[in-house]
Amino acid sequence: MGRHKGYDREEVLEKAMHLFWRKGYEGAHLQELVEVTGLNRFSLYKEFRGKDGLYEAAVDHYLGGLRHLSEVLNREPLGMANILEEVRLVVFSDFPYGCFMTNALTQQEVLNERIRKRVRDFVTASEQMVLKNLEAARLRGELSPDSDLAGLAKFIVTFDIGIVTFSTTQPTQEDKRRIYENFRLMLTRGTGVQSPGSGEASDAPAVLVNRTR
């Protein structure tokens, strides 16, 4: 009953998300959102009830997409290799606009409280995923028993946030190689873990990664 929708909600969200991603909440004007999504204003309001709602839906869309993107940190066997792989993917991502969620961290003053909480919770969730791998790593003897795992998880997430933001300066491939290699050395020598060595980028996803599609 009724006319068919001329748009696909997920496609619209994907496009809207990318505009918010590049321009930020205030920087992404409704006119641009209409143009880039192809969705007209009326339908946009009916579906998302305004700019706030669209942004919030875009956050959900991003988070939903992360379910399969976080597979690196969730895949067995858990341990340091997963963490290094995740960081490697983040470092070698070619998307130069940071991370949708961590960009939002510096926009909290113009976001409503609910979204602000969502954004902060994302950081906590990332920590938890890293921590899970660290705990497994300790059980497997990759880390000394007295390591501060929670602190180490925070350190790693902090570095992730740093690298996605640093990526906006358009570092060269060589720059990225050196940054990752130094991180790997720090982490392995600093914790005494066995290292899987450095490598090239792949298309696989990561937690704080710059999703390009």
Partner DNA sequence: AATATTTTTCACCTATCGTTCTGAAAAATA
Partner DNA sequence: TATTTTTCAGAACGATAGGTGAAAAATATT
Tokens of 81: 């290799």
Report CA dihedral (196, 199, 202, 204) to the nearest 10 degrees.
20
- For 183, the token pair is 């991180």
Applying CB under 7 A, does 110 fall inside the site for DNA?
no
- d(CA 4, CA 181) in angstroms, rounded, equals 52
Residues between 23 and 82 with contacts to DNA, criterion CB under 7 A: 26, 28-32, 39-43, 45-46, 49-52
Query: What is the distance between the terminal CA atoms of the chain, rounded to a whole angstrom?
Result: 33
Question: Which of 57/84 has CB closer to DNA?
Answer: 57
- Which of a second copy, DNA, none does residue 9 bind (CB under 5 to 8 Å by kind)? none
Whether residue 96 contacts residue 168, with contact meaning beta carbons closer than 8 Å, is answered with yes
Q: How far apart are CA 10 and CA 190, in angstroms?
A: 43
CA atoms within a 13 Å half-sphere pointing along the CA-CB vector of 36: 17
Under a CB-based contact definition with an 8 Å cutoff, are residues 62 and 101 in contact? Answer: yes
* Min dist. Cβ of residue 110 to DNA (A): 11
Site for DNA contains 5 (CB under 7 A): yes
Which of 109, 206, 213 is CA-nearest to residue 163? 206
- 4 part of the interface to DNA, by CB under 7 A: yes
Tell me the one-letter amino acid at 17. M
CB 81 within 8 A of CB 198: no
Smallest distance from a second copy to CB 2, Å:
38
DSSP symbol at 109: G
Nearer to a second copy, 93 or 102 (CB): 102
The residues, ordered by sequence, that sit 6+ positions from 152 with a Cβ below 8 Å of its Cβ are 134, 191
Residue 43 contact, options DNA, a second copy, none, Cβ 5-8 Å cut-off depending on partner type: DNA
Give the footprint of a second copy on this chain (CB under 8 A): 22-27, 97-98, 102-103, 105-110, 120, 123-124, 148, 150-152, 154-155, 157-163, 165-166, 168-171, 175, 178-179, 181-183, 185-191
Q: Which is nearer to a second copy, 70 or 126 (CB)?
A: 126
Q: Binding to DNA by residue 169, rule CB under 7 A?
A: no
Task: Give the total of residues touching DNA (CB under 7 A).
Answer: 24
The reply to whether 197 sits near DNA by the rule CB under 7 A is: no
Give min distance, CB of 102 to a second copy, in A: 6
Closer residue to DNA (CB): 48 or 122: 48
Q: Which residues form the interface with DNA (CB under 7 A)?
A: 1-7, 26, 28-32, 39-43, 45-46, 49-52
